Amino acid sequence: MSELLRRMLFLPEEGSTLASRVDGIHFFIILTTFVVGAAIGLTGFVFLLRFRRRHAHALTPEVLAPVWMEALFVSVPLLFFLLWGALGYRDYVWSRSAPPDALDVYVTGKQWMWKFAYPEGPGAVDVLHVPAGRPVRLLITSRDVIHSFYVPAFRLKMDAIPGRYTETWFEAVRPGRYPVLCAEYCGLDHSHMRAEVVALSPAEFEVWRTQQGGDQVASGAGVAEPLVEQGRVVATRAGCFQCHTVDGTPHIGPTWRGLYLREEPLDTGGTIRADVAYLTESMMEPQAKVVAGYAPVMPSFQGRLSAGDVASLVEFIQSLRPERPVPPTVQEPRYELRGR
Amino acid sequence: MSFEVAEPAMPREHYLNARRGAWSWLTTHDHKRIGVMFLVALLCTFLLGGMFALALRLELLTPGETVMGRLAYNRAFTLHGVIMVWLFLIPSIPTTFGNFLLPLMIGARDVAFPRLNLASFYLFVVGAVMTVWAILEGGVDTGWTFYTPYSTATGTDVLPVLMGVFVVGFSTILSGLNFITTVHTMRAPGMGWMRLPLFVWAIYGTSIIQVLATPVLGMVLLLVALERVVGVGLFDPARGGDPLLYQHLFWFYSHPAVYIMILPGMGVISEAVSAFCRKNPISYRVLVWSTVGIAFVGFLTWGHHMFVSGQSVLGAGTFSILSMLVAIFTALKIFTWTSTMYRGSIWMCTPFTYVLGFIFLLFFGGMSGVAVAVTSADLHWHDTYFVVAHFHFIMVGASLMAFLAGLHYWFPKMFGRCYPEGLGVGTAVLIIFGFITTFLPQFLLGNMGMPRRYADYPEHFQPLHVASTAGASLLGFGFLIIAAYLGWSLRHGRVAGRNPWGSRGYEWHSDSPPPEANFHEPPVFPYRPHDYSRPDLQPEVGHAA
């Protein structure tokens, strides 16, 4: 029955423990609405036929609703509304009270991407790995404007607000991939601010987590600042490393090691300071200012890199200091436990 | 009991021809002429907002870029929202029919402050021109809600739009003040509060909201302006401000504002139900007290726009319950209108067709409103197309149905001529069908999880978007037909005579169109409003006979 209703109403699959609760109240409301709507429609239709106009100046008897009828008009809908309100509120309170054993994930919205960080582990961009069958608490904030973390299959939504943390939680009922959308208008690329929840079986999740941790240890960087890590991923994806190195050796293009804020001679004479503006410009219009000694062969990345990509690349380049890198100390988002 | 008159004649002198020339219109203090000028201005803004609506629907026909880029799309929905909300829906019924009919219905010569009434028109025009110019020039992309910190951070020029809406707000406040004073001080002798026509009650309730809520909008717009210009940091977390404060202030105005849009519509429907069922409302006092109830309880529900904003759990529960209370008043009205048909003499003409459309849209729009006020259900629906469909049903669809019902019901009153009735009913059916085809798929899109304000969307949403766009084009076509036949009827419609509907509304006690002074002699209203149980004392003439 509920599966049939779900399909008739075009609802996505029920991917979380919350989803079946939200759908339950949805079905209750919509069934009542249609029964009452049909009753009103039918009454109106009967009246329309039975009391249609027979001559233009007909007089009609003065009919007044008795008090009991007025009382019924008030009390019956009020009863239903309050019942729905109470049932819904029970689930709402439940949805905002994370169980104490929940796995914490910090979620940061940023124009136009979602970043996820685990307290003891790695960070990730636009993909949130979670174990199925285990509650996951999300501590959500934003770097810039308001976003809203929305997983339709989980019936879950919570705004990401700059300067404060909001909290919600979910439990995926089975392994699978569930799209994440941004539900609060956040500017140009609002409709492309998409991510994915990947629910793994508990065993697979442990394997995934160990792998992530292993990589971190191998690279010797400790826990990475997620944006820097994102920059590395973007650089790999966009093919930057075909021409640029990160260890100080010159290649087809200048090395990124120590590039940030370095004075570079230009092939047209003069020098340029490799600040954020220059780095960004070089990605978009590489031929504008070419460093002396290099061929002007770099393609433009205009339109190929999102604003988020560029920010993370710049942050990545900034992190490549000339001296041996010191593992950055991790600044965890501060979260005050209140009434949990 | 019917007087057969061969062919009703146009009154020799009326408000339209009492004075001549453009100047006599631009400097008029006559509430009827100001109402007509508002009508013309609002039809222009409606056309503009409607064109942007069609552009949006066209863009959403296919995923990816169809006719405009993302930035253009973001600007287009901002323009559509701002124009439709502040330049059409909020002023729509009060400034046109309210202005025209309120004094007629209470037997007054004019509103309390005729000059202020004209000022309110010019403020509206100035504000509207500023707003439209500012959006086109500055390309604002914030959406009509101006949420901070996006609105304080965006590179587009928000300031002039804020000022434009601010000026329009003053027009709203002045109109409200005018109507409140008029109802209090200028009722015909012996017309007690419980003998007011229901439309007057509706305009009175609306005016109270306008006067109490709009100043808050003015304040919050000024604060956003200050934030942008001086950087006061009230809403900026980096400076210790709180973006949610903006939402509280904004919705403290904007939730009551949806009642500014729908209450006058409910007043029109109360009048039309009575006139076309030839029947007293089954409970006058229920319709009155529910109007007053909406006007006041409507102020206590704004937090239901913020269930997923991290608002306190207790706060969310409280706002949910308060929203249920305000919904009761609407439910009461629907039950009352439906039962009023009982033992009536129902005339299925154009205005009544719109009445049926209104009740349908109000019922489903209202019930979906109750549904999104249920806290847990809102977790899924908030900021999706379900909400878009909900508020288009109730504050756009229902308001439009009421506007069109009023326009057809009072067209003979305002211009003294009838429109082609068959064409009217046919177009009404087309409009209602088009509206439902446009927005029913959007409820389902919301269920699927399609968020609002998306220039681009994943492909599995497309079939429903196609259906919605098809409906929108039907709707656009319907409006063109209405514009055509009403425009034609202005000149060539059959002369209506004083009271073509045989209505007992007090406004029909004067000529159609009314003389400049509204009544030739002090009007006498011999029966309670909406009373059809006794023979009328004045002859009923026109095409009804």
Instruction: Give per-residue pLDDT as tens, A166-216.
Output: 999 999 999 999 999 999 999 999 999 999 999 999 999 989 888 876 544
Question: Tokens at residue A327, please?
Answer: 């593992």
Q: What is the pLDDT of residue B538?
A: 63
Q: Judged by CB atoms within 8 Å, which residues 164-183 of B form the interface with A?
A: none
Instruction: Give per-residue pLDDT as tens, A133-148.
Output: 999 999 999 988 999 9
CB A89 to CB B371 under 8 A?
no
Rounded CA-CA distance B268/B264 in Å is 6
pLDDT band at A277 (very low <50, low <70, confident <90, very high): confident
SS3 letters across B80-127: HHHHHHHHHHHHHHHHHHHHHHHHHHCCCCCCCCHHHHHHHHHHHHHH
Rounded CA-CA distance B256/A298 in Å is 57
Which of A55-64, A226-235, B161-170, B199-208 is predicted with the least confidence, judged by mean pLDDT? A226-235
CB A57 to CB B502 under 8 A?
yes
Q: Is the pLDDT of residue A276 over 80?
A: no
Angle between helices A17-50 and A67-95 (to 10 degrees): 160
Q: What is the pLDDT of residue B539?
A: 55
* Mean pLDDT, rounded, of chain A: 85
Residue of B380, B386, B447 to mutate when probing chain A, most A C-beta within 10 A: B380
Q: Is the pLDDT of residue A329 over 90?
A: no
Q: What is the pLDDT of residue A219?
A: 36
Q: Name the 3-class secondary structure at A181.
A: strand
Q: What letter does residue A208 receive in the DSSP assignment?
A: H
Q: Judged by CB atoms within 8 Å, which residues 456-475 of B form the interface with A?
A: 456-458, 464
Rounded CA-CA distance A169/B37 in Å is 55
Of B282, B379, B451, the CB nearest to A65: B282
Mean pLDDT of all residues in A246-265? 82
Q: What is the pLDDT of residue A226?
A: 67
Rounded CA-CA distance B324/B318 in Å is 10
Question: Tokens at residue B502, please?
Answer: 């045989």
pLDDT band at B543 (very low <50, low <70, confident <90, very high): very low
Nearest to B335 by CA among A167, A74, A128: A74
Tell whether B233 is within 8 A of chain A (Cβ).
no
Mean pLDDT of all residues in B276-302? 95
Which chain B residues are closer than 8 Å to A38 by Cβ? none
pLDDT band at A46 (very low <50, low <70, confident <90, very high): very high
Q: Is the pLDDT of residue A260 over 90?
A: no
Mean pLDDT of all residues in A83-87? 96
Please tell me which residue of chain B has the smallest CA distance to A111.
B150
* Mean pLDDT, rounded, of chain B: 93
Q: What letter does residue B394 receive in the DSSP assignment?
A: I
CB B320 to CB A59 under 8 A?
no
Instruction: Give per-residue pLDDT as tens, B447-471.
Output: 999 999 999 999 999 999 999 999 9
Which of A24-33, B133-142, B435-444, B535-544 is predicted with the least confidence, judged by mean pLDDT? B535-544
CB B377 to CB A77 under 8 A?
no
Closest-CA distance, B535 to chain A, in angstroms, reads 7
Rounded CA-CA distance A76/A78 in Å is 5
Q: Is the pLDDT of residue A338 over 60?
A: no
Mean pLDDT of all residues in B94-105? 96
A292 - beta bridge partners?
Answer: none
Are the CB atoms for B412 and B466 separated by under 8 Å?
no
Rounded CA-CA distance A262/A271 in Å is 10
Q: What residues contact residue A29 under an 8 Å CB cut-off, 6+ apart?
A: A84, B367, B370, B371, B374, B377
Nearest to B530 by CA among B206, B342, B270: B270
Q: What is the pLDDT of residue B545?
A: 36
Are the CB atoms for A106 and A177 separated by under 8 Å?
no
Of A65, A155, A185, the CB nearest to B453: A185
Q: Judged by CB atoms within 8 Å, which residues 11-70 of B form the interface with A?
A: 70
Q: What is the pLDDT of residue A171?
A: 96
Q: Which residue would you say has higher pLDDT here, A327 or A45?
A: A45
Residue of B234, B306, B376, B538 to mutate when probing chain A, most A C-beta within 10 A: B376
Q: Is the pLDDT of residue B220 over 70?
A: yes
Which residue, chain included where needed, has tokens 């429907």?
B269
Tell whether A9 is within 8 A of chain B (Cβ).
yes
Mean pLDDT of all residues in A79-94? 96
A196 - beta bridge partners?
Answer: A127, A179
Percentage, residues of chain A above pLDDT 90: 51
Which of A182-186, A230-234, B359-363 is predicted with the least confidence, judged by mean pLDDT? A230-234
Q: What is the CATH number of domain B31-537?
A: 1.20.210.10
Instruction: Give per-residue pLDDT as tens, B473-492.
Output: 999 999 999 999 999 999 99
Percentage, residues of chain B above pLDDT 70: 97
Q: Judged by CB atoms within 8 Å, which residues 124-153 of A form the interface with B?
A: 144-146, 148, 150, 152-153
**A258 exposed, middle or buried (CB, 10 Å; 0-12, 13-18, 19+)?**
middle
Mean pLDDT of all residues in A97-111? 92
A200 - beta bridge partners?
Answer: A131
Instruction: Return the domain boundaries, chain B.
Output: 31-537
B149 prior amide bond cis, ω within 30:
yes
Which of B127-141, B275-289, B357-371, B421-435 is predicted with the least confidence, judged by mean pLDDT? B127-141
Rounded CA-CA distance B439/B444 in Å is 9
CB B367 to CB A91 under 8 A?
no
Are the CB atoms for A68 and B541 separated by under 8 Å?
no
Q: Judged by CB atoms within 8 Å, which residues 261-290 of B form the interface with A?
A: 277-280, 282-283, 286
Mean pLDDT of all residues in A271-297? 82
Rounded CA-CA distance A295/B530 in Å is 88
pLDDT band at A335 (very low <50, low <70, confident <90, very high): low
Tell whether A111 is within 8 A of chain B (Cβ).
no
Question: Tokens at residue A305, please?
Answer: 């890199």
Instruction: Give per-residue pLDDT as tens, A27-41.
Output: 999 999 999 999 999
Which chain B residues are closer than 8 Å to A156 by Cβ? 379-380
Q: Which residue would you say has higher pLDDT here, A251 or B175?
A: B175
Please tell me which residue of chain B has the smallest CA distance to A178.
B449
Tell whether B375 is within 8 A of chain A (Cβ).
yes
Q: What is the pLDDT of residue A334?
A: 57
B451 - beta bridge partners?
Answer: B384
Which chain B residues are closer than 8 Å to A188 by Cβ? 70-71, 74, 141
3-state percent breakdown (helix, strand, coil) of chain A, nearest 5 = 40, 20, 40
A129 - beta bridge partners?
Answer: A198
Rounded CA-CA distance A175/A132 in Å is 6
Edge-first strand order for the sheet with A156-160 is A127-131, A195-200, A176-182, A147-151, A156-160
Residue of B56, B150, B301, B379 to mutate when probing chain A, most A C-beta within 10 A: B379
Q: What is the pLDDT of residue A223?
A: 41
A182 - beta bridge partners?
Answer: A149
